Amino acid sequence: MATARESSKVNLDFLVHDLGLHQERNTKVFRKGKFFIISPSVQNKNHLFEVGESIMELFETEEQEGYLLIRFKEEFLMAKLKSFDKKMMIPDTKSTSTKLPPHWKFKVIEATNPYIINMGDSDLRYPIQNPSKNQLIQFFNTES
């Protein structure tokens, strides 16, 4: 069974080498020019991931083009971060505890058209794109 540390590295080389993204320290945050990418690795059997409030505070919506780029098994799922934030990261669904800073919990639902649900309110659902690696390479390596 893979450890959390190993699972967080799944497809990391693709993000860095093929897409040319730069990882901030050892976080889910990647940058390249105007791009701000949050890229959690979802390798657990429940398909769960979290996004911390502190990570979202780094996203400058007016200056940056933000994306959620989930490394889901050997695939990628992608959404525009601004619209995902607006619909899925509402204050009432934020998890808080004494052990972890405030964050949101999500689950990837595998389907013909995959989507994400907010674990704080399962009625909150967000359709997500499933681009190929070639589409991602083309998208993130296009000069703007």
Mean pLDDT of 1-20: 73
Query: Please, which pLDDT band fits residue 10 given cuts at 50, 70 and 90?
Result: low
Percent of the residues in the chain that have a pLDDT greater than 90, as a whole number: 72
Cut 0.75: pTM above it: yes
pLDDT of residue 73: 87
Q: Which of 18, 45, 47, 15 is nearest to 28 (CA)?
A: 15
What's the Cα-to-Cα distance from 54 to each of 13, 58, 104, 124, 134, rounded to whole Å? Answer: 25, 7, 11, 22, 31
